[in-house]
Amino acid sequence: MEQYVVKGGVPLRGEVSVGGAKNAALGILAAAIMTDETVTIENVPNVRDTRVLLQAIEGIGAKVKYVYNNSVQINGGSICDLNVEYEYIKKIRASYYLLGALLGKYKESNVALPGGCNIGSRPIDQHLKGFKALGAKVDIDKGVVCAKADKLVGSHIYFDVVTVGATINLMMASCMAEGDTILENAAKEPHIVDVANFLNAMGANIKGAGTDVIRIKGVSRLHGCTYSIIPDQIEAGTFMVAAAATHGDVVVKDVIPKHLESISAKLMEMGCEIVEGDDWVRVIADKELGSTNVKTLPYPGFPTDMQPQMAVALALAKGSSMVTESIFENRFKYVDEINRMGAKVKVEGNTAYIEGVQRISAAQLSAPDLRAGAALVIAALAADGISEIEDIEYIQRGYEDFEGKLSCLGAVIAKVDSDRELQKFKLKIG
Ligand code: EPZ
């Protein structure tokens, strides 16, 4: 099984380019099937989650053509099956975006219910509530959501919780409904805006994305287009925090600095120097890190997907910090792992109480989920000694060539697939 091996203690220095946003790409790839014309999507991150979703899209009969590494063409004109198999949902929850896309286009869709995952139960009640409000009959039969409507009619939908997934699913399901739909208490993440902009490029009429009220005027059909996905806010933030935790000096390129404001603000509170350009952010962390407190919130608050990474940097900061996770109920599984490295973190309820330490030591680690896995890599980069990280397939879900990009910043890291490769690398780095 592949694993990372990391020799810590090297400050990250140099420039790194960020890829397309995974969480925008997953909504956009699903929405692309809503036209029978060809859609070209650029800046698609080549990660496990996008590859699996494209397999699911091919699985229902759409044509998918990989133009080159980060561009893909999709044509939904040949779709012949409205059933999305559990095997895809099991691999990535976001396959449930096909529910909203197929229902919006064909007024019918059957998609296996996503289970919970490593960070929480993650219900989809708001998605189903919205589909019903548009006039769909929604049943759950043997673990499959069966949604069907003679026609979909615009409605005024209020989300009981701010939910990225339901906001995206309902934008898709309502954009070809008859009449107007209003989504209240909508999520405002950059990837919501990106999906709305993509649907509008296909001929939809969506206004207000990025605010908590989104207005959608149904249109009769959507057409092909070419669209480029926004930079990944979380990949960018991960490199920013890695620079801080290793006392490095890194320019993170091809980003939208506005999307990174909450992360930059927290790093500045910790004593990092942040310099912003039009499409880059530089993190200079040559001084000792100071403590601060973090609470995850929907955008523009501090993103939950950056919580584990920030907690690792705070574990290495001088003083005590608190990290409160307000979005998911089980997103502290990395804490046991970093405590084995010498960190001093105690979790009570949805808050981690961190007592900063000067040094942590390498260890054999196991990634519990995608962002916790990235956080463990950051911990290993900052630790004394050589760490080994297993279960990196979680990390590969959301980071394209993570080890390659870190190596370009001076990190001593390799992906190895056997004990022989591991020993060879250890001998090489001494
Ligand atoms: C998206 O998940 C992201 N995934 C997550 O990123 C991200 O952490 C999350 O949004 C929050 O920003 C993708 O975009 C593929 P939600 P999603 O619906 O849509 C509750 C990563 O690391 N809720 O905004 O599933 C839910 O339980 C991943 O890239 C309901 O109660 O998140 C949670 O507590 C991890 N009922 C909260 O809302 C519903 O019907 C936010 O969930 C839907 C959600």
C-beta of 28 in contact with ligand 1 (< 6 A): no
Q: Which atom of ligand 1 is nearest to the CA of 369?
A: 22
Q: Which atom of ligand 1 is nearest to the CA of 129?
A: 40
pLDDT band at residue 399 using 50, 70 and 90 as cut-offs: very high
Q: How many residues does the chain have?
A: 430
Encode pLDDT of 339-380 as tens digits: 999 999 999 999 999 999 999 999 999 999 999 999 999 999
- Which residue is closest in CA terms to ligand 1's atom 5? 305
What pLDDT, on the 0 to 100 scale, is given for residue 430?
A: 80
User: Tokens 């980003």, residue?
Assistant: 255
- Selection from 35, 38, 40, 31 nearest residue 67 by Cα: 40
User: Tokens 């040949």, residue?
Assistant: 78
Tell me how far apart the alpha carbons of residues 294 and 297 are, in angstroms, rounded to a whole number: 10
Question: Which amino acid is located at 109 in the chain?
Answer: S
Tell me how far apart the alpha carbons of residues 44 and 91 are, in angstroms, rounded to a whole number: 19
Write the burial class of residue 65 (CB in 10 Å: 0-12 exposed, 13-18 middle, 19+ buried): exposed
Is the N-terminal amide bond of 11 cis, ω within 30° of 0? no
The residue from 117, 146, 175, 225 that is catalytic is 117
Q: At what angle do helices 261-269 and 233-245 cross, to 10 degrees?
A: 10
Encode pLDDT of 137-166 as tens digits: 999 988 899 999 999 999 999 999 999 999
- DSSP notation for 308-350: HHHHHHHHTSBSEEEEE--S-S---THHHHHHTTT-EEEEETT
Tell me how far apart the alpha carbons of residues 430 and 427 are, in angstroms, rounded to a whole number: 5
Q: Which atom of ligand 1 is nearest to the CA of 398?
A: 29
The CA-based dihedral angle spanning residues 319, 325, 331, 335, taken in that order and rounded to the nearest 10 degrees? 10
What pLDDT, on the 0 to 100 scale, is given for residue 88?
A: 84
Q: 117 catalytic, yes or no?
A: yes
C-beta of 125 in contact with ligand 1 (< 6 A): yes
The answer to whether the beta carbons of residues 88 and 110 sit under 8 Å apart is no
- Selection from 403, 353, 361, 367 nearest residue 380 by Cα: 361
Encode pLDDT of 200-237 as tens digits: 999 999 999 999 999 999 999 999 999 999 999 999 99
**Rounded distance from Cα 174 to ligand 1 centre (Å):** 20
> In the chain, what is the straight-line distance between the N-terminal and C-terminal CA atoms, in Å?
23
Number of alpha helices (DSSP H) and beta strands (DSSP E) in the chain: 15, 24
Whether the per-residue pLDDT at 270 is higher than 90: the answer is: yes
- Which residue is closest in CA terms to ligand 1's atom 21? 305
pLDDT band at residue 121 using 50, 70 and 90 as cut-offs: confident
pLDDT band at residue 116 using 50, 70 and 90 as cut-offs: low
285-287-293 Cα angle (round to 5): 75
- Which residue is closest in CA terms to ligand 1's atom 4? 23
Tell me how far apart the alpha carbons of residues 199 and 214 are, in angstroms, rounded to a whole number: 13
DSSP-derived pairing of the beta strands 293-295 and 320-324: parallel
- Which residue is closest in CA terms to ligand 1's atom 28? 305
What pLDDT, on the 0 to 100 scale, is given for residue 87?
A: 86
What pLDDT, on the 0 to 100 scale, is given for residue 117?
A: 66
B/e letters for 236-262, b = 16+ CB within 10 Å, e = fewer, are bbbbbbbbbbbbbbbbbbbbbbebbbb
Three-class SS state of 224: coil
What pLDDT, on the 0 to 100 scale, is given for residue 358?
A: 96
Tokens at residue 356, please? 């900063």
C-beta of 123 in contact with ligand 1 (< 6 A): yes
| Residue to probe by mutation, ligand 1, list 53, 164, 334, 350, most atoms within 8 Å of CB | 164
Helices (H), 180-333: 190-201, 233-245, 261-269, 307-315
- Which residue is closest in CA terms to ligand 1's atom 22? 305
Tell me how far apart the alpha carbons of residues 390 and 93 are, in angstroms, rounded to a whole number: 22
Q: Which atom of ligand 1 is nearest to the CA of 189?
A: 12
Tell me how far apart the alpha carbons of residues 368 and 380 are, in angstroms, rounded to a whole number: 15
